[in-house]
Structure 1
Amino acid sequence: MAKTARGGDPEVQAIMEAGTGSVEWLREEFYGVDLADHRLSCRLIKTAERLGKSPTSPINEACGDWASTQAAYRLFDNGQASPEAIREPHVAATVKRMVACGGPVWVVQDTVFFSYGQHPRTRGLGPIGKSNEAHDRGLIMHDALAFTTSGVPLGILSQNLWARREVPDEGCVEKILRLQCTAIEEQESSKWLLALRETVARTPRDVPVITI
């Protein structure tokens, strides 16, 4: 039954067959990306292609040569290449795929922790464990990913990345009292509500969605 459902959706089937490492897929996924500079947009596609082919490799190895590595780092350092600007065409493509499959669509929320404990010189990190120790530092990412009911991934509808504040030196009772006095929007648990709001705002009314 799942095979029939997947085969009945030509657009989703094409995505599965193409694979995320293909140049054609990348160009379609980033079509219309606006980084305020055409050269920067082209660099984004080239860099994504190289990193997509070697997702577990360091940036310099994935890029293949020093010139491409420098170009990739210039892309990352450019304020125009913000995460929001890069994600925008992908989110739009995700919505199109949701419409194409007709629904219902599952939107699964998930939190990922990136550990940078082995990189003590990295700045802008926060605790990801229960302490402020160097080995427990990194970043947190919360996603809302859309899937067909047969399990085919359609894309990301919401994605937020942040560094957690330093862990206060407090007991259990003190922590409970502090959280009770903190607005829900200022608590880390608000990530679930934010992702839900962004999912609702971006989903067409005629596409039924089940959030998980």
Structure 2
Amino acid sequence: MQDKTSSSEAAWQQELCAAALPDKRLVRRLPRLLDQLSAAPGKPIPAACGDWAAAKAAYRFFDNPRVTEHSVLAGHFAATAARLAANEGPILILQDTTEFIYSRAQPGKIGFTKTINAGRYKAGQPNVLTLCGVLMHSSLAVILTGTPLGLTAVKFWTRTKFKGTLALKRHINPTRVPIETKESYRWLENLRHRARGRARALCACG
């Protein structure tokens, strides 16, 4: 009898196989890469991959313009939509934003997340630090008992394009700015993405 661990791994691999990557080589690389990274959490890519050839392949995968978060997660989104359609009870969609902060000499090459007040220098001047990194807004579907059904939407971005928004508020009434141009629009985008996924699942399973 197959144990629960191997069964869950098989389901995980099955969702990966449904990724919408445009090349079979990319499809084969994805589960191998995730196995390496999940076995060494917190380690840099060369250490997690074990040798330079595997690390170089990982860097090529991440640098491929045809590899996007949506193509990688397509299989998982489809599986989540099927689980939503099969569940008859109430479903909660929990949304939140996570910040991935990195230390870089040139933060502009990654993107900005926010500025923080780090106190004052000895001379009394304020010490304001600019943090760089990536933001992720995700929507997780769960049933009332707390069991997760999977992600329904994920959006990654940096705040480079929203630079100067606070200064703009001093001159423009925020209520007159179109919601599509605001960073908070991500909440509506994720809800719409989830609604489309559920509709597709209902059509497929009905």
TM-score over 0.5 for the pair: yes
Shift of 1:178: 4.8
Once residues 19 and 126 of structure 1 are traced to their aligned partners in structure 2, the CA distance between those partners, rounded to angstroms, is 40
Shift of 1:63: 1.2
Shift of 1:136: 2.0
Once residues 131 and 7 of structure 2 are traced to their aligned partners in structure 1, the CA distance between those partners, rounded to angstroms, is 32
2:183 counterpart SS class:
coil
Question: Percent identity between the aligned chains?
Answer: 30
Asked if residue 147 in structure 1 is aligned to residue 142 in structure 2, the reply is yes
TM-score with structure 2 setting the length: 0.78
Aligned residue number for residue 52 of structure 2? 66
Task: Please tell me the residue identity of whatever aligns with 1:174.
Answer: R
Aligned residue number for residue 18 of structure 1? 5
Counterpart pick for 1:185 among 175, 180, 183: 180
| Richer in strand (by share) | 2
Once residues 167 and 71 of structure 1 are traced to their aligned partners in structure 2, the CA distance between those partners, rounded to angstroms, is 38
After the TM superposition, which of the residue ranges 134-143 and 149-158 deviates more from structure 2? Answer: 134-143
**Structure 2: which 5+ residue stretches go unaligned?**
118-127
Deviating runs (4+, > 6 A) in structure 1? none
The Cα RMSD (Å) is: 2.8
CA distance 1:19–1:204, shift in 2 (3 Å) = farther
CA distance 1:140–1:182, shift in 2 (3 Å) = same
Once residues 32 and 206 of structure 1 are traced to their aligned partners in structure 2, the CA distance between those partners, rounded to angstroms, is 15
Once residues 66 and 177 of structure 2 are traced to their aligned partners in structure 1, the CA distance between those partners, rounded to angstroms, is 34
Once residues 205 and 69 of structure 1 are traced to their aligned partners in structure 2, the CA distance between those partners, rounded to angstroms, is 37
Equivalences for residues 122-137 of structure 1 within 5 A: 122=107, 123-129=109-115, 135-137=130-132
CA distance 1:102–1:44, shift in 2 (3 Å) = same
1:79 counterpart SS class:
coil
Contact 2:93 2:140 in 1 (8 A): yes
Contact 1:130 1:167 in 2 (8 A): no
Aligned residue number for residue 102 of structure 1? 88
Task: Please tell me the residue identity of whatever aligns with 2:141.
Answer: A
Task: Please tell me the residue identity of whatever aligns with 1:106.
Answer: L
Asked if residue 119 in structure 1 is aligned to residue 100 in structure 2, the reply is no
* Number of equivalences: 187
2:17 counterpart SS class:
coil
Shift of 1:19: 8.0
Aligned residue number for residue 3 of structure 1? none
